[in-house]
Structures are given as C-alpha cells and as structure tokens.
Structure 1
Amino acid sequence: MKKPLILFVTLTCFVLISYTQTVMPLYADSIPNSKPAPDEEKTDTSHRGVPMISKVSIPTLTIYLPPKEKATGAAVVVIPGGGYRNVAIGHEGYDVAKRFNEMGVAAFVLKYRLPSDVTMVNKEIGPIQDAQRAIQIVREKAKEWEIDKNRVGIIGFSAGGHLASAAGTHFNHAYIDAGKKANLRPDFMILVYPVISFADSICHKGSRENLLGKDPSPEKKMEYSNELQVTKKTPPTYLVHAEDDSTVKVQNMLLFATALQKNKVPFDFYLYEKGGHGFGMNNSTSEVKWMDLVQEWMTKSGWIK
C-alpha cells in the first residue's frame, strides 16, 4: 500500500509545480457596461461531471504560464463554451490551458460575463468586451509574462467559439476603452465545434437567444453571424468539428471555412466523422487527438518557435 501512496504524492507535487496559475480580475476598476447587482455566480456539475459556472457578472482571467525552460513566447486566450448560459470552465478551460503549457504556450482562461439584462446595460456586447480586454491584458503584460505580443491567439469552444470568432472578425470595433493604438486582433484563432452563424436555418438557437434575445432583428442576426464578417484581415484559423454534431451543426464550421477560403485567409481543419458536441480535447470515438494537430499547425505556421 505504501508505493501507490508515494506515487500519488509525487504526481500531485508534479502537477502543482508544472502549472503556475494566478487568477486576476479582468478589470482593475469598474466593469464597463455593468449595472449594480448582487453577485449570484454559482458552480454546478453537469450530467457529464464537468464544472459549469452560471450567472457570471465579475469576469476573471486565470493565468497558466509554462515552465521557463519550455516557454516558446506564444500565448493563447482560452474561451470555454456553454451556450452563453454557462461557462464550461473545466474541460474547455483549465484542462486546455494545461495542454498548451505542455507545448510551451502561455494560456489565459477567460471567465467571461454571461449576457444578462440584470447585470448589463447592453447584454449583447458584454462577452466581446471581456474577450477584447483579455487580449489587451496579455499584450500589455507581454514583457512581464515573457510573451511575444505578436503571437497572441485565441481558442473558443461552442458558444465560446462564437465569442472567439467575434473577437477575430470584429476587432476593428473597440467595445472597450482601449486607446487608439491598442491591437485587439488575435494573431491566430482555433475554433472547436464553434457556433458561427445566427441564421435561422443553422444557428444554435439557445446561444443566439441568450445573447440577442428571443426575436433579434435581421440586422442583428447578420451582425453576429461571423461568417459574414470575415475579411482578408481575419486571423489564420484552425477548425475542429464532428459531422454528427446535432447541437451545433457542422455547417457552422463549413461556412466559416468557405468564407476564409474566399478571402484567402490561411486555415486548416480536422473533421471527425463522429463525436457529437462538447467532447473537449478528447473525442472518445477516435484515436486522433486534435490538440496534437493544432500543435503541428502552430509550429508549421510559426506561432510556436
């Protein structure tokens, strides 16, 4: 019995040493676009056994820095999904950050505000304000965290993929007071089973309703359909989806890929035959580890040096 106990302690110490993590508030002073309201944030466990945070009104950034001997200078903001109703902070957040640290990439898990008329003046812009602020912070503190401010990317899952792709297509519009010289454009994007389009035929209706309300105008649907916002300046992108995803239709990913191709933006993708939705880093139906493919893509593209 002693050997397993020693092994457990050793592994626990290794984890604590390997992942340096600090939680910081996203805004040092007042939170923009917010109303006075009680903090009702809570964490529950989903039917899959993963932690889900709801009613987020105070956003934070959890910092994961790789060991100095492994650091490559690359960084990524990690945006978990949850349908703009929850934040799947574990398997689409902290676990992903640890895997990036293994690559030598600094990772920053964003716990973003969830749309609410109770806590926000304009609920549709709250999440993208937080995404832009996260990018701003990483670049502002690049020297302190030993990051190359020209290799700062973003990864998003499901509705977090919608938020990440919004950050990558709406960056010319500053939703926060960032100053004229601030660069809010992610250098690259990784979108995993992402919500992309708010068109009636293929949208994830829960995400759209939570962000824009039950009956958004045609103009709002177009504004937040990110495949329609792609330009030649959209960041290079890696896409992951499963063909049998019945929650977020694979057409979301395909439409975005088509828009990237049309605008001659470099991209790559991996399409699983099966896996459904919400599998995080590990699709149990396949031996292919998409994060390994992302690492190859980042290295080939020069983001990991």
Structure 2
Amino acid sequence: MSRTLQHETVLPLWNEPPAGTPENLQPNVEERSGNPFRANRALTGVVTPSLTAWVPEQPNGASIIIAPGGSYRRIVLDKEGLELARLLAPLGVTCFLLTYRLPGEGHANRADAPLADAQRAIRMLRIHADEWRLDPKRIGFLGFSAAGHLAASLATNHDRNTYPLLEKEQGVSARPDFLALVYPVITMQDSDVHTGSRDALLGETPSSLQKDERSPQLNVTRQTPETFIVHADDDPSVSPMNAITFYCALHRAGVKAELHLFRDGGHGFGIAGAQALPVAKWPDLLSDWLMRIGALAVGNESFGNDQ
C-alpha cells in the first residue's frame, strides 16, 4: 500500500479479509447514546481491520495508535477513539484509530486475531514512516479497557508469530516505542479477571496454559516499552488490580512506568465521562508524560528505554 496520508484516510490492514474470517460476517454500527448531540457508537462484525488517520495541522512526527475497548465484543468508536484523537492533535501527534477483529465472532485464529491486527498496524506505520512523515522510533500504542489487554499483549508479545509476514515486513519490529493503558483489562487468570473479555478471547473453558500465555503481566521483560497507566479504584467492571499487577511487573523488570489510580471514576469514563471528577485530569497527565519521556520532542535521539 502506498498513498499520501491525509486526515481521516482509512488504511485497511490487509489487502483482503484475513484467512479464517467468517464468510457471513457483516459490519454493523450501533448508536447507543440517548443524547443526540453526543455520539456513542459501537462497531461489531469487523471484516476489514483498519487504521483511520487523524492528522494534526502541525504534525511533529510522533504517532499513536488508539485502540478503543468493548470487552473484545465490540469497538467503542467515539468516547474511546475520536475524543482522544481530538485532544492529542494540538500536541502535534498523528493518531491512528484502530479497528481490530473481535475474537468471539468466529475467526479461525481466535486469540491471535486482534494481536495480529495490532502487530500489522505497527509494522505498517514503520514501513511508511518516511512517506507519511512519521518518526519510526516514536510510535506509541494506547488501549482502553479490553484493548488495554491488546496493547499490553502487543508490548509483551510483539514478536509472536501470529501471521505470515510479507517480504517488506521482514525485520520490521512490531514493538511500540511507548505504551498507554486506560482502565485496562490485563490478566486472564481467575483472580481479578474480567470474565467477559476472557470468554470472548479464549472461550469459556480456557486451559491454564492459555490463561498464562495470554496474561501480559507474566510476560513482561526489560524490553517491554515504557508505560503510562490510569485506572479508577471504584471500577465496577475491571478490577484496578489489573493495572496494579501490570505496573508491579514492569517495576520488577526495570521498565519505567507511571501509574495513576483515582478513588472515583468507575469504568469507561473516556474523556467526556470523566468531567467533574478528579479522574478528568488523566488526559493532562498523559500529555505531560508524553512530553517528559520525549515522545513529542522532534529529533530527540535519547527517546525511550535504553534497550
């Protein structure tokens, strides 16, 4: 694929639906908002995984792939996608909104399907970095909720063989340079698991080996990218122990990380839903973190961990 990157350009990750995609699967967008002035759309039936570019007026070369959550059963397009892209645009960050295959929709390679899409997305940005005026060493990945599990899985299993590489992908790393997790699902083990996400990803009776392999906190190494994490202590859906456990694994491995745990916030607050609560500060904390780690500094050769 070779095209000029423009605002809201849709970039399919695959030239055709990936092998193992159910033939009868059809995309569907459901509007779930009761407010006509605030969209809350959810996508299911992902046949053509893609990136949608959100290009700022003054791009600085930094880019972030944003993966909205939805329990691995849907993709929440607005509050966990567009809202954040609009916020990061003034910082010069080129955002790419990711739609990824939902594992419970009948895909043959169920547990690897979303991870393969995330790996392909990172490699696509690196391959086209010069063409799209991106810095191939400042590509981040941000995941909300179940897509936090996808993000953490990408960070810890970026070299897992999930699909046959094209010739141009040989030697191109799928490791994000920095990672951000917002009320993330992490563990697939019984303690603190978000059952809905695990059932969608692994089925209702996963083996102990599957639980271990798909629990990113058990796969952290020194090469895991620097990470920003935010969660609410009163989250009724995803236990904050997911965020805490992953932070502890990063700390033990010597990976720089930042964890913000707020008393109030619940789950799925996004940006607009966090207003009037202390957790509303999280986008500013993210922006400050991006500045401090050098992700937004053009020409910063010391960016990231010294791997």
Output the TM-score relative to the length of structure 1: 0.89
Q: Which of these residues, 236, 239, 247, is aligned with residue 226 of structure 2? A: 236
Is the counterpart of residue 167 in structure 1 residue 154 in structure 2? yes
Structure 1, residues 87-129: CA drift from partner, whole Å, max 9, x if none? 00111012211222121001000011111463x2211111001
How far off is 1:36 after superposition?
Answer: 4.9
Unaligned runs of 5+ in 1: 1-18
Contact 2:33–2:41 (CA under 8 A) maintained in structure 1: no
How far off is 1:66 after superposition?
Answer: 1.2
TM superposition outliers: structure 1 runs of 4+ over 4 Å: none
Q: Which residue of 1 aligns with 2:130?
A: 143
Change (3 A) 1:74 1:250: same
Change (3 A) 1:204 1:279: same
- Local SS of the residue matching 2:103: coil
Q: Which residue of 1 aligns with 2:65?
A: 77
Calculate percent identity across the aligned residue pairs: 38
Unaligned runs of 5+ in 2: 1-5, 298-307
Contact 1:281–1:289 (CA under 8 A) maintained in structure 2: no
Contact 1:190–1:237 (CA under 8 A) maintained in structure 2: yes
Q: Which residue of 1 aligns with 2:258?
A: 268
Code of the residue aligned with 2:264 in structure 1: it is K
Output the TM-score relative to the length of structure 2: 0.88
- Local SS of the residue matching 1:289: helix
Q: Which residue of 1 aligns with 2:287?
A: 295
Equivalenced residue count is: 283
Q: Which residue of 1 aligns with 2:187?
A: 197
Structure 1, residues 39-81: CA drift from partner, whole Å, max 9, x if none? 42111123575111112122111011111xx322110110000
Change (3 A) 1:81 1:287: closer
CA distance in 2, matches of 1:60, 1:82: 17
CA distance in 2, matches of 1:51, 1:117: 18
Contact 1:132–1:176 (CA under 8 A) maintained in structure 2: no
Contact 2:186–2:216 (CA under 8 A) maintained in structure 1: yes
Contact 1:135–1:152 (CA under 8 A) maintained in structure 2: yes
CA distance in 1, matches of 2:279, 2:187: 29
Change (3 A) 1:52 1:35: closer
What are the residue-to-residue correspondences of 1:1-305 with 2, within 5 Å?
A: 20-27=7-14, 29-46=15-32, 50-67=40-57, 70-116=58-104, 118=106, 120-178=107-165, 179-282=169-272, 283-284=274-275, 285-286=277-278, 288-305=280-297
Point out the structure with max Rg over C-alpha: 1
